[in-house]
């Protein structure tokens, strides 16, 4: 029986460097541990350590740590919640706590990263980000409820810092930076909506706060990404980190392109 050589931190670090990750970068990572394939010595912790090693002391590592399960039960789908239980759910839903609330649907890497010493997490109850490194506090220290992925969000702060985006074994549907383009663009069907989030406990019940947001949607992000790659070949690099198909791209180029794409194509 042939046993495949285990993957090490050094292997992952080498592949990241070859892909274009450099010391001092601000890097927003969307990831899939499973995509790496094989046996990674140290598992998810090794992946995080490799990213931090390559970015170095002057770099900043950022990951999405969203908790969309902390939404009002009236909008739940697949599965939905029986309306007779909505108020009970609202009353007893634990409020968001940036040190305690689990990530949902983000994978093992960001959930492990957010608990690491030195990592700071933004305060948004639905779409928080966690960061570590030189610009971590700047990126996460203010994250208003309204327009949660827009002009005052961590995404916008990373845009100003000249950040890069790494899609590590995931598709463009996971690329949160395209959401920033949704706020900046004027596309057909864009509208405001009212959202509710559990923010604190009082008298044995959870208090829900109302805020305003847009009807952002990642359903066409795959098409945006495919056209971005075809039309902006200088703005990204494709490669592999072990068995994981990856892309690293300039966030600013991604967002600027997506604004124009959404205005020209969405809602047609």
**Rg of the chain over all Cα atoms, to the nearest angstrom:** 19
pLDDT of residue 240: 97
pLDDT of residue 53: 98
Nearest by Cα to 185 from 146, 215, 209? 215
Quote the DSSP letter at residue 235.
G
Per-residue pLDDT averaged across 246-251, rounded?
98
Residues 90-144 pLDDT 10s: 999 999 999 999 999 999 999 999 999 999 999 999 999 999 999 999 999 999 9
Domain total of the chain: 1
Whether 29 maps to a domain, the answer reads yes
Whether 200 maps to a domain, the answer reads no
Whether 79 maps to a domain, the answer reads no
- Contact yes or no for 165/155 (Cβ under 8 A): no
Per-residue pLDDT averaged across 170-185, rounded?
98
pLDDT of residue 1: 45
Q: List C-alpha distances in Å: 67 to 70, 148, 192, 210.
A: 6, 13, 21, 17
Judged against a pLDDT cut of 70, whether residue 202 lies above it is answered with yes
| Residue 166 phi, psi (nearest 5) | -115, 120
Task: Quote the domain boundaries for residue 176.
Answer: 9-68+99-190+218-265
Burial (CB count <10 Å: 0-12, 13-18, 19+), residue 47 = buried
The Cα–Cα gap between 25 and 138 comes to 15
Structure tokens at 232: 């902006």
Share of the chain above pLDDT 70, in %: 99
Q: Is the pTM of this model over 0.85?
A: yes
pLDDT of residue 3: 55
Res. 211 pLDDT band, cuts 50 70 90 = very high
Whether 242 maps to a domain, the answer reads yes
Whether 48 maps to a domain, the answer reads yes
Whether 82 maps to a domain, the answer reads no
Whether 240 maps to a domain, the answer reads yes
Judged against a pLDDT cut of 50, whether residue 221 lies above it is answered with yes
Judged against a pLDDT cut of 90, whether residue 5 lies above it is answered with no
The Cα–Cα gap between 151 and 111 comes to 25
The Cα–Cα gap between 248 and 256 comes to 16
The Cα–Cα gap between 128 and 236 comes to 25
* Cα 104 to the center of its chain, rounded Å: 11
pLDDT of residue 77: 87
Judged against a pLDDT cut of 90, whether residue 37 lies above it is answered with no
pLDDT of residue 228: 98
> Across the chain, what does the average pLDDT equal?
95
Judged against a pLDDT cut of 50, whether residue 249 lies above it is answered with yes
- Looking at the chain, how many residues does it have? 268
The Cα–Cα gap between 89 and 260 comes to 41
Whether 53 maps to a domain, the answer reads yes
> Residue 79: is the preceding peptide bond cis (ω within 30°)?
yes
Higher pLDDT, 34 or 78: 34
Burial (CB count <10 Å: 0-12, 13-18, 19+), residue 124 = buried
């Amino acid at each position: 029986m042939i046993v495949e050589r285990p993957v090490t931190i050094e292997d992952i670090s080498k592949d990241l460097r070859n892909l274009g990750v450099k010391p001092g970068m601000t890097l927003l990572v969307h990831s899939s541990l499973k995509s790496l394939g094989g046996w990674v010595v140290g598992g998810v912790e090794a992946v995080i350590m490799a990213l931090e090693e390559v970015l170095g002391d002057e770099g900043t590592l950022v990951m999405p740590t969203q908790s969309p399960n902390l939404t009002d039960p009236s909008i739940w789908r697949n599965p939905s919640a029986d309306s007779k239980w909505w108020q009970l759910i609202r009353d007893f839903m634990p409020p968001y706590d940036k040190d305690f609330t689990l990530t949902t649907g983000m994978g093992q890497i960001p959930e492990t990263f957010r608990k690491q010493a030195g990592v700071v997490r933004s305060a948004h109850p639905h779409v928080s980000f966690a960061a570590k490194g030189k610009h971590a506090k700047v990126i996460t220290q203010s994250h208003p409820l309204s327009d949660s992925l827009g002009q005052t969000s961590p995404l916008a702060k990373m845009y100003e810092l000249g950040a890069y985006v790494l899609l590590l074994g995931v598709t463009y549907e996971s690329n949160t930076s395209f959401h920033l383009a949704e706020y900046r663009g004027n596309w057909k069907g864009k509208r405001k909506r009212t959202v509710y989030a559990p923010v604190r406990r009082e008298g044995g019940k959870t208090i829900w706060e109302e805020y305003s947001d847009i009807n952002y949607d990642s359903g066409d992000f795959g098409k945006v990404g495919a056209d971005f790659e075809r039309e902006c070949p200088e703005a990204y690099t494709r490669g592999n980190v072990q068995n994981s198909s990856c892309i690293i791209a300039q966030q600013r180029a991604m967002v600027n392109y997506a604004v124009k794409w959404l205005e020209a194509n969405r809602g047609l």
